[in-house]
Homo-oligomer: A and B are copies of this chain.
Amino acid sequence: MLYMRSVKDDRTARAVIRDEALRLFGAHGPDGVSVRQIAAAAGVSPALVVHHFGSKEGLREVVDQHVLDTFDEALAEMTQPGAPDLYDPAATGSLAEAVLRHLPSDSPLPGYLRRLLLDDSEAGRILFRRLFTVSQGVLSTLSQAGLASEGNDPAVRAAFLMANDLAVLLLRDRLTEVLGVDPFSPDGMRRWASEVLAVYGSGLLAAAPRQEEP
**Chain B proximity mask over A153-172: 1 for CB below 8 Å, otherwise 0:** 10111011001101110110
* One of B150, B160, B201, B208 near A192 (C-beta < 8 A): B160
Contact B191 A153 (CB under 8 A): yes
Taken together as a complex, chains A and B put the C-alpha atoms of A171 and B132 apart, in Å, by 12
Among A10-18, A37-45, A116-124, the stretch in contact with B: A116-124
Size category, A interface? 35 or more
A132-B173 contact in complex given A167-B167, A194-B152, C-beta closer than 8 Å: no
- Is A195 interfacial (CB 8 A cutoff)? yes
Q: List the 6 closest A-B pairs by CB distance, nearest first.
A: A167-B167, A163-B167, A148-B204, A202-B203, A164-B164, A128-B174
**Chain B proximity mask over A170-198: 1 for CB below 8 Å, otherwise 0:** 11011101110000000000011011101
Could you tell me the distance in whole angstroms from the C-beta of A213 to the nearest C-beta in chain B? 12
**Chain B proximity mask over A65-103: 1 for CB below 8 Å, otherwise 0:** 000000000000000000000000000100000000000
Please give, as numbers and ranges, the residues of chain B lying within 8 Å of A171 by CB-CB distance: 117, 128, 163, 166, 170
28 contacts between A and B (CB under 8 A): A31-B31, A31-B32, A92-B204, A117-B174, A124-B174, A125-B177, A128-B171, A129-B177, A129-B178, A142-B204, A147-B205, A148-B204, A148-B205, A149-B208, A151-B208, A153-B191, A156-B192, A157-B198, A159-B178, A160-B199, A163-B164, A163-B167, A164-B164, A166-B171, A167-B167, A201-B204, A201-B205, A202-B205
Majority secondary structure of chain A interface residues (helix, strand, loop or mixed): helix
Could you tell me the distance in whole angstroms from the C-beta of A178 to the nearest C-beta in chain B? 5
Instruction: Find the B residue at minimum CB distance from A204.
Output: B148
Contact A200 B198 (CB under 8 A): no
Taken together as a complex, chains A and B put the C-alpha atoms of A124 and B174 apart, in Å, by 9
